[in-house]
A = this chain, B = another copy of it.
Amino acid sequence: MNPHLTPTAPGRRRRPVRQPTIHDVAEAAGVSKSAVSLAIRNQRGVSETTREHILAVAQELGYRSNVWARSLVQGRTGLVGILLQDLGNSYHRDVTAGVEDAATERDLRLVIGHGRRNATRLQAELDSLLALGVEGVIIISSWVSPQYLERISKRVPLVVIGRLPDPVPGVDTVANRDEIGARLAVEHLTDLGHTNIAHLTSSSRPAAMHRRAAFTKIMRARLPGVDPQVEGPEQLEAAIRYLVFQIQQEKDAPTAVFTQNDRVAADLVGACLDAGVRLPDQLSIVGYDNSSICRMLRPQLTSVDQPRHEMGRLALEMLSERLAGRTEDRHVTIAPELVVRASTKALREPAGGEQQHRPMMVD
């Protein structure tokens, strides 16, 4: 009959060492649980003296409020997910840092999901984030299928950092302007006198395709006589080998390469050096991402720099707008910048060819 009999005697069956609860603090402090709740959350309704007393007791007992119970009753978790393709990638690291900073400001907690460069795992991880109760997800990956994205976006707001093949209703995007990145790279190279410029790319995913298209477009605009050459979408290694072979034969070989990203550029640099191709004398190379790789390579890599931190920050801001009620889709792009290093060099006077002449840009 007495309801207080059951909970005390056989109850508390779970943890060997139970975490103190708001009840324990209340009892120890000689107040009601409501008072403790108010004191903890720094709300008014308790006097300053009792608040201090309660906090002291809580501190002593080592009380920590149970986020789960709190969010259960409040109906919100304050959690935001971020889905990465790959830890161990400085691009993702920097974007994440931007997201983190913005999240901290907005009192949101970030939960990281790790896709490990595997589409299946990526989706499982996304599910996992949802199960954890995130109120929105930022995705740094183009590997999630549009169908899946659309389904998920009905449940929680989604922001994709990067390119999507097509806009997905309900999904916001943040992307760098590949057209500008490609233009910066190509202009830099043409300014240095290069005309035979190739693009080296490793995949046919949306992001890579977009960058590749941007390259082709800007090449057509800047060098109408030249057919833009794209290498490697199916077989990167073979393309690199062929490129090196061409250069060694010196017939019609590209004198400059704009790569899809720094990793690909690093592979190319390695292959060139192994084959005895002198860099940057025989070949100028421009990467994309301005990652930590750039400074490790010799020659150090000229690269297009995306404002990674800013992109992360922006993504979180867009997500929190969604949480605040925005319903129309937003797609934001940010202009990248070129960081010139030692891997690009003016083309030596070609035998009898006509030389493109433009004033060199000073950085």
Interface status of A105 (Cβ within 8 A of chain B): no
Chain B residues near A19 (CB, 8 Å)?
A: 155
Query: What number of copies of this chain does the assembly contain?
Result: 2
Are A97 and B72 closer than 8 Å at their CB atoms? no
> Which residue, of A68, A111, A270, has the highest number of chain B Cβ atoms within 10 A?
A68
| A295 close to chain B: CB less than 8 A | yes
Please tell me if A292 contacts chain B, counting CB pairs below 8 Å. yes
Could you tell me if A296 and B87 are in contact, using CB atoms closer than 8 angstroms?
Answer: no
Interface residue A346 (Cβ < 8 Å from any Cβ of B): no
Contact of A296 among B71, B72, B133, B270 (CB under 8 A): B270
Chain B neighbourhood of A337, CB < 8 A: none
Cα distance, A84 to B87, chains bound together (Å) = 10
Residues of B within 8 A of A110 (CB): 114
Within 8 A of B (CB), among A5-51: 13-15, 19
- Minimum distance in angstroms from A212 CB to a CB of chain B: 23
Least distance between A308 CB and chain B CB atoms (Å): 10
For the complex, is A57 an interface residue (Cβ under 8 Å from B)? no
A157 vs B13: C-alpha distance when bound (angstroms): 20
User: Could you pull out 13 A-B pairs where Cβ atoms are within 8 angstroms?
Assistant: A14-B74, A15-B75, A66-B133, A67-B131, A68-B68, A69-B72, A87-B89, A87-B93, A88-B94, A89-B93, A266-B296, A270-B296, A296-B296
